[in-house]
Chains A and B, each alone.
Chain A
């Protein structure tokens, strides 16, 4: 069964450093998402991406965040200058459509980011 993959599984970085989290969505999916989950808390939406542009973003997704689909398979989340409070598990998800039966979002295994 096709699945979403993410790399790296863990990332430790110093405050102020840039990080890039990588995701390979399911190959025939068109909608891509990033969520984060601070330890012990709920999953929070960051951004959705379709047709090479951001379609929705939350207030968490400020100017320090950016997303890119650099080629036909990868979908990346960049945090320009990490802060301590960016420490969380970051999940990538993809879906074949935005709604209806195809709107099911399949989550990757996550990247655990720790900012020191």
Chain B
């Protein structure tokens, strides 16, 4: 079945360092969504990317969707302790009624 691979599984950074997580799908996606989950919490929607090659920014967060609509990345500039959590990408395959296929997530820890 279709899979969304996400790396790295864990990332430990010093506060102020940058962080990037990558997602790769085995098939073309209609769109990709990014979620953040704090420990003990639920996935909170961050952004949706729909167009090939799309780049969106939210303050220190930059999201990219690949030209082939098979890969995506989230980059955080100058991490802060409030960035701690697990970041999941979730892709929707072409023709799907909404089934999101989640990556395994990247757990980010930030040392002050």
Interface residues of A (CB under 8 A from B): 31, 33, 35, 41-45, 48, 50, 55-56, 58, 91, 95, 98-101, 103-110
Contact = CB atoms under 8 A, between A and B. Distances in A.
A103 B92 contact: yes
Interface residues of B, number: 24
Given A41-B104, A42-B103, A106 B98 contact: no
Interface in B70-112: 88, 90, 92, 96-105
B20 interface: no
A42 B43 CA distance: 11
Contacts of B100: 33, 35, 43, 45, 105
Given A104-B45, A106-B45, A99 B98 contact: yes
B68 interface: no
B59 interface: no
A71 B101 CA distance: 29
A83 B74 CA distance: 37
Nearest to B45: A104
Interface string B19-45: 000000000001101010000011111
Contacts of B99: 33, 45, 48, 56, 58
B48 interface: yes
Contact of B43 (A56, A101, A107): A107
A107 B42 contact: yes
B98 A98 contact: yes
A44 B102 contact: yes
Contacts of B104: 41-42
B43 A91 contact: yes
Given A50-B97, A107-B43, A108-B42, A100 B50 contact: yes
A56 B42 contact: no
Given A99-B30, A99-B31, A99-B92, A104 B97 contact: no
